[in-house]
Amino acid sequence: MLFRFALSSLKSRRKSVLLTFLSLLISISVLLSVEHIRSQAEQSFSRTVSGVDLIVGAPSGQLNLLLYSVFRMGSPTNSISYSSYDMLQNHAQVAWAVPIALGDAHRGYRVLGTSPDYFTHFHYGNKQPLVFSSGGAFAQPLEAVIGADVAKKLGYQVGDDIVISHGVGAVSFKNHDDAPFTITGILAPTGTPVDKTVHVSLQGIEAMHMPAKALRQYLSASSETQLNLKPKQISAVLVGLNNKFATFTLQRQLNNYKGDRLMAILPGVALAQLWQMMASVENILMAISGLVMLSSLFGLSTMLLASMQQREQEIAVLRILGASSLTLLMLIVVEALIITLSACLASLLLTFGLFTLFSDTLANHYGLFISANVLSPTNAVLLAGVVVASLLTSLIPAIDAYRNGLHARL
């Protein structure tokens, strides 16, 4: 009966109740989203690369190198010579070295020139290797392996031909039409930027940039000559070491290497630095959403408080019918709870819907892989906190009702 009374009372004030509900809905959604993005981003960042001991590229900042080599964001400011890659491959401490060349795209998806070794050595998450969901690695220059999202979004299958464009934009004015690539393999989803990448061989990258005549000549040559084509420059090299203890020694060596201007970074350290940078932004966001939440709760309390004046008559009637002052207090708290709980539920649905809708955009533009499952343990705790806070703020009008109850007269 108390619940029904509260519900009916709320319905009779539906305009102000609806506005309060909306303000709560928005602030709870912001709170949930910020926390969700934070935890998911941390997860998706740290799982992006695994098993790589050093990333070697041209000197810039370590974040810049990390971003373009692993997250496919931004572009290399400079290149390193192919001979440096040869040097790394022959280095005693190096177990494997995988070259990467960036700078082209296929319909907005970055193209990564590399060697077939990439598919065996590049790991993600908790040392998980890349797995082909169909087909296999490329063997010929004009063959490509695409990530799971590329295949899904563009509807490609093994055997399809694709044309790569110059530059990394979604729209390009220069297409390498003469050199179409055939898809030989599709990778299983990883939840990392690999899903958004078109992988081709270094030779393929080199070949498609050739003038038409040279390209025809190259393609008619024997496959051995084709595979011997070596680019002059590459963007970066991913390196795995025989002995992890040699990491810092090798890093210092490479940074002081005389043959080329090189910079070596530890992906773990760079990720941590990136994360630290994000953390301060994220703390600010969290604080702001907390404040927005608080102001919404005060709005709820204000709405209920304002209604107290209209309700003096109602309170007198309830008192006469035998309602105790405590019952009146409970009535207001129940009203606040109804609004807050329904706002919590609605914002769960809203954020779930939004993340389902925009997960692709987030992944494409920001490299953030966010799952739509918003109800994480942390968010459950946050929601519980919101409910408790609404209980507390609703005590302000509730105590008013209690006092009114004590002083109500016929």
**Judged by CB, which is closer to another protein: 171, or 410?**
410
**Judged by CB, which is closer to another protein: 8, or 126?**
8
Of 6-14, 168-176, 219-227, 290-298, which segment contacts another protein by CB under 8 A?
Answer: 6-14
- What string marks each residue from 327 to 346 as x (binds another protein by CB under 8 A) or -? x-------------------
Binds another protein (CB under 8 A): choice among 143, 314, 335, 400: 314
Cα 265–chain centre separation: 23
Binds another protein (CB under 8 A): choice among 174, 244, 258, 409: 409
**Judged by CB, which is closer to another protein: 143, or 314?**
314
CA nearest 59: which of 73, 79, 81, 29? 79
Of 144-152, 155-163, 166-174, 325-333, which segment contacts another protein by CB under 8 A?
Answer: 325-333
Cα separation, 186 vs 147, in Å, equals: 6
C-alpha distances out from residue 374 to 99, 160, 216, Å? 38, 37, 53
Binds another protein (CB under 8 A): choice among 220, 222, 256, 313: 313
* 322 contributes a contact to another protein by CB under 8 A: yes
* 404 contributes a contact to another protein by CB under 8 A: no
Binds another protein (CB under 8 A): choice among 324, 361, 373, 378: 324
Binds another protein (CB under 8 A): choice among 130, 319, 332, 370: 319
Interface of this chain with another protein, residues 11 to 30, rule: CB under 8 A: 11-12
Binds another protein (CB under 8 A): choice among 226, 296, 325, 340: 325
**Judged by CB, which is closer to another protein: 170, or 326?**
326
